[in-house]
Amino acid sequence: MEVVGRARGRGEIFRRGVGLGFDAAAVQYDQVTDIGADNDLGHILLLPVMLPHPRERLIPVYAASLLFPEEDGVSLANELEVWEGDLSRPAAYMAAPFGRNDADRYFAIYIPGEAMEPRFKAGERVILDRIKPASIQTDVLVQLRDDTGRSLWTIGKLSARDRNLISLTQYRDKVTASIHRSKIRHIFPIIGMIDDDR
């Protein structure tokens, strides 16, 4: 186990291996304070902070950015809000909410735009399911196919679906657009939302 501490007398950071009977993977020593004389390192007091155990599954959180229709050349961006985001590289990890602790199944993404207001706002995280099929009239995140190799996304309420097309509705501007199946890579249902401001 590695302990990081500060000696009050010298103000220097030190690292030292100790064994105190704790599960090393479950405890982080947030601070080590000198409670002895003002000497090299003196006596130390360990202040453990319990962290989630690594075996407690975390789910990945991804970031995306808005594409603007006059700049990106994506035809769909003239109708719907389109994002670009790389889902092969998480921006962060978070404790799985709502008991959804299967990191291979669930993931989260930060909403980068306002198209789904008032239901979802920019900066909120939505939780998505990689396995569950999306139902009509549910909110979904759609991964688009792009000839240039970019990872493009759009979001909306799945208002209709047939063998060739889906229709998505974005709330703010009440825009509905159809997307051909040849332009769709995946459809992920949104199963929850986390508002960090509440």
For residue range 172-186, what is the model confidence (pLDDT) as tens digits? 999 999 999 999 999
149 and 169 in a single domain? The answer is yes
For residue range 20-64, what is the model confidence (pLDDT) as tens digits? 333 333 333 344 344 444 445 444 444 444 444 444 579 999 999
What is the span of the domain harbouring residue 39? 2-50
173 and 80 in a single domain? The answer is yes
134 and 169 in a single domain? The answer is yes
Regarding pTM above 0.75, the answer is: no
62 and 41 in a single domain? The answer is no
Q: Spell out the long-range contacts of 8-12 with Cβ–Cβ below 8 A and sequence spacing 24 or more.
A: 8/33, 8/34, 8/38, 8/42, 9/34, 9/37, 9/38, 9/39, 9/40, 9/42, 10/40
72 and 11 in a single domain? The answer is no
Domain with 68 in it: what CATH number? 2.10.109.10
The structural domain count of the chain equals: 2
